[in-house]
Structure 1
């Protein structure tokens, strides 16, 4: 049979870079970058370690290739291969029986990424009648989306152009997490004499190395830093007076509010020199247009997350860096079918709301909160994705698993995530999941979570499945493309799995598209693009317009902003109705160590330190890709980073082993010395031994799993959204002489 070269996409991260696959006899025999499609830059793939591995994992020896049913005790490694019909029939029957006994809320789900499509699972959950979908939205993406929308009426994105005078990168490290067009753009900015690059991060990252100014705040003090910058800009009258007068609501309140947050005050709180705070604020205001990008470092500061994002919104607003070229642009709504319409949640809002666990605890991150914000976004004819922004809080779902209050949660579907490693408080997650009646996992590999499941269903990976990345439906962009081959062995796409399961549970009328390709074709139809055109181009994109608030209606009145007042709300009119603040105020950092625990450990020469965790490190992504030998050679063991001062206090050097502990548990890491703030450590997360297989040890996940220390409990979480913290924590640390399993490379790797 002749060879064919087909367009397809990588799926090792969310950017889905274009690839060319050489296919022979239904098998991919070679892969090359496709510079004709997104991201249109050969240097990006040239600098990426991941994309070449797509070929290896297609037929990897450790892949799950057939549906597996547990035959022994949970975690015993005893499985039986079954047919798809047998697996789906049994799962559907068990879900139906549980629903009849306990109600629709009995089923919960956990989903991750980037190797998945979110809306098929969300549609299945909607039609089943359960609101209990979990993700990591509360600590990634949701906080920024909520605060942007409440302040501006919709989300904003950086629009870095040649005329951009200043770029802030706050709490993210695209050198490790991105490796896309965006990172290449930042490298140009860092080398440009015409544009200033400011990086705000406690660690001196690769991104910080490219900066003109690096600010290293103490963990959890970002809101104070932002308020201090507002103080400088207002005090020195660097704000855009005309824009503030015409389009900002609550400026006088903001002026009074930020008066105490002088640079000198912030220096004591944040650990940053007052002169550097003044310099950064001056650059952002005076070198306009300025752009500001924030990331997970801001999204994971617990009680301070909403006020920090609100303070950042105020920085953008009073400097006039909103919706002008080269600044922070209000995104367009999608021309194609929105995520909200794909997941079908709006049509079932009332019944889902009755079962929503969040309502009493997180008044914004729930259906009632969504309705209040939806009333504003409707002014612009836009719909926020519902399932992301109402996702159930893990603390509440775990409580329902543990106590059956306010109702029982007895079944769980896990897709493209590994919650025993990536969810806070591993001991609690493990105990809750071990007590369930049914766990179904869709994955590529036998992860620790898959090892305790009742069914493991083999998911089709990159190259085997079509891709459609639309950023949650808050922008007018989608990229991806076609599969190069049909799924190997008996793997299936997630769409096919949820459609088949849904049909068995009476959802047939809502799964009319026989394939994901057909569903994507219908999704694109309103935008006037066919699936074939999309696959050829690898991208649907319409650039945003500018100054959209000046567009006029039929009576020639400016549209303004989709907020309560029609202006940018520096002082929020909506948040107080939900129990929130009109103006941003810093919250308290989460304490993982009780005073008794600290005293006990200090008597044994342990050191009490600030802790941050979760920073991305190439080539890994969360708990993924540790099964690739070349990647493990690059990063062979879990690291805890600290500077020389902290290392000396601990009495450790490069390569030593350290135990970290909190009231919840402990984990072990290898020491790395780097540039960062004093008395601060950064611990990797997601570490396990894929090469150990399903041998009853759960991949050694208890040894170096930072989530053995963390907590998602609501008592110290952000009040409106429920954000817990990975970036403003504390822990106890001590050098140990024990040899870790990571010091003994496995022959399997």
Structure 2
């Protein structure tokens, strides 16, 4: 395997400096994306420490400080004052320096004078770029109406423009990947069970048992979250991991359940039925806070251990073993809600099952359980709600997906744009999101884009979606801008209760002769002026936006600077807060769905195929970091996991170069290396998501590894929420041009 990650390498960091070369107004692609070789900084002596950084390499947003020399950032470290991540940041956090000085970064506004997907870039001024963006979007609105625009945002800097297009312009077509391809089904299920979004607020440090279903902690590295998990294990918590693959978490488990993918709800329902029949649940909590319990009991009464064992392809005695372990350690049990939860299109019911199991064990508001600490209050700064477009949303119009998370289900936008029914969608904005790799079936995404009158993309790096832009706008990185206020509590609730407030501030100046990047507040305000919405602009700058938010907590940027970038204040005891539990939800039933958590079968692999599942590696944030040379050096490709017995049957061995082909004939554009292991089911093939970028302007990450998303062509939509089931596509292995059937 081509994986060189060691503990030493994981903790190492370095710095770099870059200077780009100006070029002519009309330029070839290779000239537009000027690249400069990386230069190591030498020692860190003589650097100045700059506080106030908040990481943006993933959405966990650890608090940082920067080491700066001669105006150049040379090192990043965790902020020692932080009660969240402390001095620790992960490999990705360290590598933020390499993102900042990545020679492939977008530098100037560009106009595509070629074809979408095969662009020919012309450098233009900001005035020309913004004038064209505004005039073309205004023309679309005038010809059709506000519903004819769609925005695909992601990340903290996309919030300000997202609100502008939704609240002021009035487009109801807003699809954020974090909701519709990640956590939307989870949070909506918890809201309709416990009355609150799930988050990841489980008190693992004080748990006696931790239950994870498809949660890959140790591969999905969020520092304070991982600290909670490891602290719980250090304190002796028993660990149960339900996963078809021997993940990093499964390697630490007391019980590893190698479940058949898509059957997790059957597993959960059988556990709950067993706990009820054996009277091993928390009767007092259920009596005090449970609703619809009798209907719930009747609804799951069919789910015997043997029934689930047959469906899940695991022994009935192991399901009983898990149930008994959870009951024996209740209520101090962390039932982890998961994070990336859009799997098989039956995800709302699975997450309802996790929430109901949490209530059944009474593990709410107690040490080791599901707790919701109060975060400090801050102000709000955003666009006014000039219009309310939500009633115009596609799922509301068609009465589809009544438990959809905020925004509009992605497939409804794509299908509407392609068909024109019930209305045309002719303008697209992608801001910090790469829909070519976040949304399954990229072929449908391309069809949507092809019929657009105008496509605007704003990003930090060239990605697959930037190749389809008519106008491409370069954004400042998280290390160069104001844009986010983070608040929360310390992660270990056994410590004195404290809250924190911090703000993202520039660690280095974005002003430079080698680029013309701007932050999202400046860009959006300039668009607003040109789209006749100047009267609604809430702030003049990103700095003012952050100041306004902090003012709600009677803080300022100056005060935060004096407090080393983090304001601490006393917190509140997070324990003792209970939540009502809708074991049987009549609103869900009235909408036409099962009121009790119910197993819904999913499509099975055709003969000769295995199910494709995917996950993460600890040094990458999916596709966002694939061009980062430091991180790429550690895990440059995404190995394809196959069961070792299947490999022997097919004549394959560890390290073989392979491709994948799916059940509709799509062959992966790239190849990767094979990992043969007993640690994966025979009916499953696994790889890591985010590889295989096609943009040739990525000098490190282009055409490296296999793009799993390109193989996800079977679109299964969760009926309650409209989120994507992303693990219902099936593949065979291709070696040296020969397609190999997976034995039954």
TM-score (norm 2): 0.83
Matches within 5 A, 1:192-271: 192-193=235-236, 195-271=237-313
- Show the counterpart of 2:529: 503
Aligned mates of 1:92, 1:67 — CA distance in 2? 14
Aligned mates of 1:588, 1:358 — CA distance in 2? 27
- Show the counterpart of 1:548: 577
- Show the counterpart of 2:42: none
Question: Cα gap change, 1:297/1:444 in structure 2, threshold over 3 Å: closer, same or farther?
Answer: closer
Question: Cα gap change, 1:585/1:331 in structure 2, threshold over 3 Å: closer, same or farther?
Answer: farther
Tell whether the 8 Å contact from 2:102 to 2:628 is kept in structure 1 after alignment: no
Cα deviation 1:263-315 (Å, max 9, x = unaligned): 2221111122222212222222221211111324543221x211111111111
Tell whether the 8 Å contact from 1:62 to 1:445 is kept in structure 2 after alignment: yes
Q: Does 1:672 align with 2:688?
A: no
Aligned mates of 2:295, 2:616 — CA distance in 1? 38
Match of 1:41 among 86, 90, 99: 86
- Show the counterpart of 1:15: 60
Q: Does 1:171 align with 2:214?
A: yes
Matches within 5 A, 1:140-155: 140-155=182-197
- Show the counterpart of 2:31: none
Q: Cα RMSD (Å) of the superposition?
A: 3.0
Aligned mates of 1:11, 1:352 — CA distance in 2? 30
Question: Cα gap change, 1:86/1:471 in structure 2, threshold over 3 Å: closer, same or farther?
Answer: farther
Aligned mates of 1:590, 1:182 — CA distance in 2? 33
- Show the counterpart of 2:690: 686
Q: Does 1:493 align with 2:519?
A: yes
Question: Cα gap change, 1:447/1:167 in structure 2, threshold over 3 Å: closer, same or farther?
Answer: same
Q: Does 1:573 align with 2:582?
A: no
- Show the counterpart of 2:400: 362
Q: Does 1:611 align with 2:650?
A: no
Tell whether the 8 Å contact from 2:78 to 2:86 is kept in structure 1 after alignment: no
- Show the counterpart of 1:6: 50
Matches within 5 A, 1:374-385: none
Tell whether the 8 Å contact from 1:641 to 1:673 is kept in structure 2 after alignment: yes
Q: Specify the SS of the correspondent of 1:574.
A: helix
Matches within 5 A, 1:38-437: 39-42=84-87, 44-45=88-89, 48-113=90-155, 116-136=157-177, 137-156=179-198, 157-160=200-203, 163-193=206-236, 195-287=237-329, 288-296=331-339, 298-302=341-345, 304-330=346-372, 332=374, 335-337=377-379, 342=382, 344=384, 348-349=387-388, 351-360=389-398, 362-365=400-403, 389-437=405-453
Tell whether the 8 Å contact from 1:414 to 1:441 is kept in structure 2 after alignment: yes
Match of 1:450 among 455, 459, 466: 466
Tell whether the 8 Å contact from 1:623 to 1:686 is kept in structure 2 after alignment: yes
CA shift, 1:207, in A, is 1.5
Structure in which a larger fraction of residues adopt helix = 1
Q: Specify the SS of the correspondent of 1:39.
A: coil
- Show the counterpart of 2:26: none
Question: Cα gap change, 1:538/1:477 in structure 2, threshold over 3 Å: closer, same or farther?
Answer: closer
CA shift, 1:548, in A, is 3.5
Tell whether the 8 Å contact from 1:190 to 1:212 is kept in structure 2 after alignment: no
CA shift, 1:739, in A, is 11
Tell whether the 8 Å contact from 1:9 to 1:467 is kept in structure 2 after alignment: no
- Show the counterpart of 2:736: 737
Structure 2 unaligned blocks of 5 or more: 1-45, 492-498, 740-744
- Show the counterpart of 2:634: 634
- Show the counterpart of 2:623: 623
Aligned mates of 2:383, 2:599 — CA distance in 1? 35
CA shift, 1:431, in A, is 2.6
Match of 1:586 among 573, 578, 599: 599
Match of 2:542 among 516, 527, 533: 516
Cα deviation 1:150-173 (Å, max 9, x = unaligned): 112213453426542111122211
Q: Specify the SS of the correspondent of 1:348.
A: coil
Aligned mates of 1:532, 1:218 — CA distance in 2? 55
Cα deviation 1:9-64 (Å, max 9, x = unaligned): 3321123223322445543344444322353433x33xx32233222332322111
Tell whether the 8 Å contact from 1:158 to 1:291 is kept in structure 2 after alignment: no
- Show the counterpart of 2:7: none
Aligned mates of 1:272, 1:192 — CA distance in 2? 29
Aligned mates of 1:264, 1:305 — CA distance in 2? 23
Question: Cα gap change, 1:509/1:281 in structure 2, threshold over 3 Å: closer, same or farther?
Answer: farther
Question: Cα gap change, 1:420/1:359 in structure 2, threshold over 3 Å: closer, same or farther?
Answer: same
Q: Specify the SS of the correspondent of 2:81.
A: coil
Cα deviation 1:51-95 (Å, max 9, x = unaligned): 332223323221111111112222333212111121111111111
Q: Specify the SS of the correspondent of 1:177.
A: coil
CA shift, 1:532, in A, is 3.9
- Show the counterpart of 1:375: none
TM-score (norm 1): 0.83
Aligned mates of 2:691, 2:542 — CA distance in 1? 33
Aligned mates of 2:173, 2:116 — CA distance in 1? 23
652-661 vs 261-270, which moves further: 652-661
Cα deviation 1:473-498 (Å, max 9, x = unaligned): 9x997654311223243111122212
Aligned mates of 1:691, 1:427 — CA distance in 2? 16
Aligned mates of 1:684, 1:146 — CA distance in 2? 26
Tell whether the 8 Å contact from 1:481 to 1:534 is kept in structure 2 after alignment: no
- Show the counterpart of 1:707: 709
CA shift, 1:712, in A, is 6.9
Tell whether the 8 Å contact from 2:463 to 2:693 is kept in structure 1 after alignment: no
Question: Cα gap change, 1:273/1:218 in structure 2, threshold over 3 Å: closer, same or farther?
Answer: same
Aligned mates of 1:272, 1:611 — CA distance in 2? 20
Tell whether the 8 Å contact from 1:534 to 1:540 is kept in structure 2 after alignment: no
Aligned mates of 1:691, 1:629 — CA distance in 2? 16
Question: Cα gap change, 1:683/1:131 in structure 2, threshold over 3 Å: closer, same or farther?
Answer: same
Aligned mates of 1:18, 1:162 — CA distance in 2? 21
Query: How many residues are treated as equivalent by the alignment?
Result: 671
